Structure 1
């Protein structure tokens, strides 16, 4: 009885631990994508010139990704302007973030049948302040 119980515990607990770890990493990626898009949008609308907006957005998103345990190469941020001109009072900036989450312990021989990574995306639209000083 003890041998069977020990075998069943190992058989059930090891996959459960793997599942919990994988779901935790995916949740961290979802939070990182959402926060990176939000902070990139916020940083972009505070830039004084459109040329600075992308640099500020990448820096803000990089800090968010690092705080969630992801490297710079595992996430990307792109910006788009919601109107004809960027950073004009009343316009919007759209920030899209993507985070690649590598699934742990996926062996090489099953990578064709099982995805080894999952890309999570998020979008945030940030309005430019209507009372922003232009010029």
Structure 2
């Protein structure tokens, strides 16, 4: 009886640990994409000039990605403006994406099963109505 219980315990617990670890990493990716889009939008909308805004947005998103444990190149951010950029009352639209690698997927199965999941987020940040036109 003890051998059967030990065998079934390993058979059930190992996949459960894998599932919990994988779901935790995917959830971290979802939080990272959402927060990166939000912080990049805020950094872009509060920039002093249109030339400095994209760099600020990339820096803010990079800080968020690294805080969530993602390496350089796993996350990306694209910015756009509705109307003239940084004009009072305008809007900044930010799209963020992060690639979450799935753990313990062997290299030989790369074509048969996905080895990573791409998570995306979009944030629209309003530019302050009372700022000077930039």
TM-score range normalised by the length of the shorter chain = over 0.9
Runs of 5+ unmatched residues, structure 2: none
Q: Which runs of 4+ in 1 moved over 3 A?
A: none
What is the deviation of 1:134? 2.5
Partner-residue secondary structure (3-state), 1:122: strand
Partner of 1:40: 40
Q: Which structure features the higher share of helix residues?
A: 1
Matched, 1:87 2:86: yes
Partner of 2:75: 75
Runs of 5+ unmatched residues, structure 1: none
Partner of 1:23: 23
Partner of 2:63: 63
Distance (whole Å) between structure 1 residues aligned to residue 29 and residue 75 of structure 2: 9
When normalised by structure 2's length, the TM-score is 0.98
Partner of 1:110: 109
When normalised by structure 1's length, the TM-score is 0.97
What is the deviation of 1:61? 0.3
Partner of 1:121: 120
Distance (whole Å) between structure 1 residues aligned to residue 67 and residue 86 of structure 2: 28
